[in-house]
Amino acid sequence: MGNNNTSPSKISSDTMRMIQKEIKAKWDKFSDQELTSLKSRDDLVAQVVAKYGFERPQARRDVDALLKGREIGQRA
């Protein structure tokens, strides 16, 4: 086991900033501090549930639609 596969686990800071802007545009209750501290897609789902009172499946669908397969949280 190891990291012998190239994975999209790290993203550029420019991509992360773009994603943070998209998140803020959709869910304006997020502070800039909260956006920069997001660790993962699941973290964002949990935050959306907490801030907006969505059911987890709905929050996951909304997050997946916004991210469109991109990952968040780990910068290159």
Tens-digit pLDDT profile for residues 23-64: 999 999 999 999 999 999 999 999 999 999 999 999 999 999
SS3 for 29? coil
Q: Pick the residue with more confidence: 8 or 61?
A: 61
Residue 37 lies in a domain: yes
SS3 for 70? coil
pTM over the 0.85 mark:
no
Residue 1 lies in a domain: no
C-alpha torsion sign, points 22, 16, 55, 47: negative
Measured CA to CA, the distance from residue 12 to residue 75 in angstroms comes to: 5
Measured CA to CA, the distance from residue 19 to residue 64 in angstroms comes to: 12
The count of other CB atoms within 10 Å of the CB of residue 53 is: 8
Measured CA to CA, the distance from residue 11 to residue 1 in angstroms comes to: 23
- Residue 56 domain boundaries: 31-71
Residue 10 lies in a domain: no
Per the structure, the count of domains in the chain is: 1
